[in-house]
Amino acid sequence: MAVLRPEPRDDDEPAEAAGLVALPPPDPSDTTADLFPGAPGDRPGLHVRLFGSHEFFHLWLVQVVSSVGDWLGFAAIILLASEVGSNGGAGAISLVMAARIVPGFFFGPLAGVLVDRWDRKRTMVACDLGRAAVVATLPFVDDLSGLVVASLALEMLTLLWAPAKDASVPHLVPQGHLTTANSLSLAAAYGTFPFASLLFALLAGVSVWLSGIEALGVLRLDQMSLAFYVDVATFVFAALMVRTLPLPARPRSARRAGDSRVDWARTIHELQEGWRYIFINHTVRAVNLGLATGLIGGGMLIPLGAVFSTEVLGAGAAGYGLFTTALGFGVATGVVLVSAVQRRIDKARAFAGALFVAGGALIAGASTSRLGPAAAFVFLMGMSVGPVYVLGFVLLQEEVDDELRGRVFSSLNTLVRLCVLVSMVAGPLLAAFLGGLAGSLTGGAVEVAGVTIGVPGVRLALWLGGLIIVVAGVVATHSVRSGERSRAAVTSPHPSRHRP
């Protein structure tokens, strides 16, 4: 049931002093009509039951619209890079993509400190308007340097917006609805890609019609520019919607500090505090290591899937397309299932268990030489990867105090970026190295129980990737159990704990 919250106040005045009366927690058996006389009906609306609250529904709409704009802008930036670059634009595209990845390693941790210090709602609004301003200049960029600078600016603003959004979700939905909320956020982020692709194709026809209007010639209304303008509109829409959300005005610690000047000693201390918390809190450590390390293994499937389909299965591009489809549907299925059973599972143990299943599925899929079973195991892997992502975010939102949440999510984003980059680069290199090593040692095949198994480099690399995910599951399980033992020791009623 949706939780009604008062408007946030900027002071620390006690509720009693302000004339407010603290209400006892509602009885679960009460209906909406019992709790709120005059409310229409005995149950909240469908969108409230699904999203947890009106406020999160608004935030989800922001994510849907922004994601469509992001995918449009991404496609248009690739197109622009190919136009302003030389030799087909391949080098320009790589440079622009580097400008979108590299800032996360340096600015990401600092962004978490700033998000915890600043007003998160104002931060998100400012970032949306800033990104709208940057994207609005892209139709008039004619050189690679300008595109790289714009990409850097966009990425730095996104690095502030993302942890501010993730840290704000627990303020908008009841705690028991966090799993569903994160599942919906995942769907908003990646499920909008097909719609954005269709819209980008439709913009080509619209641009032909608009190009005939001379008064609009100054806007350069081709397909690429129209995509940028739509992206600008999505950012403005997001800023207006976020501005209405009832989020706390500012973290309490920042209000007590009494100033907003840049204090680098304090900033470094807060950064260290966030990283220290990640390592000393068992659940947070399990989630960060599990998600980040698991992505090193799982991320290898992206660059190596096409090679495996061609060299091992003989299915070529069609087989790789089946892999990506199976992975996508598997993720969607896993997200729906974990949302349905969220109240009946131990989230920490389910997170670690999902890592084991994902690693085992990747190993099994890489071991087969037929397309059907390989696609089935990829589907199973996707069913596990979805819950890993969703449960990981839920555990962090439940475990981490609000004053540290921005730093923890920013650190997680930095680790994820690093591990994905490592998997993309290391996967093909490992396949080449292991293939050469296996060829020299075994001739490219081994015999097990009378069965000859080919060991090309791509299969060995995927086996290693699956093993890395399993190891991540072992580490996460150990960390979760250590946390359970620590909490049990603290709450133990043993007489030795009460000795004077």
Asked if residue 28 has pLDDT above 70, the reply is no
Look at 218 and 101; give whichever has higher pLDDT.
Answer: 101
Q: 141 is written with which tokens?
A: 């960029």
pTM summary value: 0.68
- Predicted local confidence at residue 401, as pLDDT: 82
- Predicted local confidence at residue 203, as pLDDT: 80
- Predicted local confidence at residue 348, as pLDDT: 86
Host H or E run for residue 123 = helix 120-137
Look at 1 and 214; give whichever has higher pLDDT.
Answer: 214
Q: Evaluate the CA torsion angle 233, 184, 300, 106 in order and state its sign.
A: positive
Q: Which band of pLDDT confidence, cut at 50, 70 and 90, is reported for residue 373? A: very high
Name residue 85's amino acid: G
- Predicted local confidence at residue 240, as pLDDT: 95
Q: What is the mean pLDDT of the chain?
A: 78
Fold of 272-484: Growth Hormone; Chain: A; (1.20.1250)
- Predicted local confidence at residue 403, as pLDDT: 80
Q: 379 is written with which tokens?
A: 């589907």
pLDDT (average), residues 29-54 = 56
- Predicted local confidence at residue 236, as pLDDT: 96
CATH of domain 47-254: 1.20.1250.20
Asked if residue 41 has pLDDT above 60, the reply is no
* Cα angle 157-160-163, degrees, rounded to a multiple of 5: 140
Question: Mean pLDDT lowest for which of 296-305, 313-322, 416-425?
Answer: 416-425
- Predicted local confidence at residue 204, as pLDDT: 73
Give phi and psi for 63, each to the nearest 5.
Answer: -65, -40
Give phi and psi for 370, each to the nearest 5.
Answer: -125, 145
- Predicted local confidence at residue 449, as pLDDT: 72
Q: Which band of pLDDT confidence, cut at 50, 70 and 90, is reported for residue 40? A: very low
Q: Which band of pLDDT confidence, cut at 50, 70 and 90, is reported for residue 37? A: very low
Q: What share of the chain is helix, strand, coil (3-state, %, to 5)?
A: 80, 0, 20
Task: Give the whole-number percent of the chain exceeding pLDDT 90.
Answer: 18
Asked if residue 130 has pLDDT above 90, the reply is yes
Cα 216 from Cα 18, distance rounded (Å): 56
* Cα angle 468-388-235, degrees, rounded to a multiple of 5: 115
pLDDT (average), residues 362-368 = 93
Model pLDDT for residues 44-101, shown as the tens digit of each residue? 666 677 788 889 999 999 999 999 888 888 888 888 887 876 655 567 777 887 787 7
- Predicted local confidence at residue 31, as pLDDT: 41
Q: Exposure of 302 by Cβ count < 10 A (0-12 exposed, 13-18 middle, 19+ buried)?
A: middle
- Predicted local confidence at residue 347, as pLDDT: 87
Q: Which band of pLDDT confidence, cut at 50, 70 and 90, is reported for residue 358? A: very high
Q: How far apart are the first and last CA of the chain?
A: 46
Model pLDDT for residues 245-288, shown as the tens digit of each residue? 988 776 455 444 444 455 556 666 666 776 677 777 888 888 88
Question: Mean pLDDT lowest for which of 124-133, 308-317, 491-500?
Answer: 491-500
Task: Give the whole-number percent of the chain exceeding pLDDT 70.
Answer: 78
pLDDT (average), residues 356-383 = 93
β-strand partners of 453: 446
Cα 420 from Cα 295, distance rounded (Å): 6
Host H or E run for residue 447 = strand 445-448
> Would you kindly state where each structural domain of the chain is located, as residue ranges?
47-254, 272-484
- Predicted local confidence at residue 3, as pLDDT: 46
pLDDT (average), residues 193-221 = 70
Asked if residue 163 has pLDDT above 80, the reply is yes
Of 285, 271, 275, the C-alpha closest to 395 is: 285
Look at 20 and 249; give whichever has higher pLDDT.
Answer: 249
Q: How many residues does the chain have?
A: 500
Helix (H, G, I), strand (E, B) or coil at 453: strand
pLDDT (average), residues 287-303 = 80
Of 306, 66, 22, the C-alpha closest to 165 is: 66
- Predicted local confidence at residue 392, as pLDDT: 87
DSSP type of residue 88: G
Host H or E run for residue 454 = strand 451-454
Q: 89 is written with which tokens?
A: 């634009």
Cα 268 from Cα 472, distance rounded (Å): 29
Distances from the Cα of 433 to the Cα of 26, 277, 463, angstroms: 62, 38, 14
Buried-state track 194-223, b at ≥16 Cβ within 10 A, e below 16: eebeebbeebeeebeebeeeeeeeeeebbb
pLDDT (average), residues 340-369 = 90
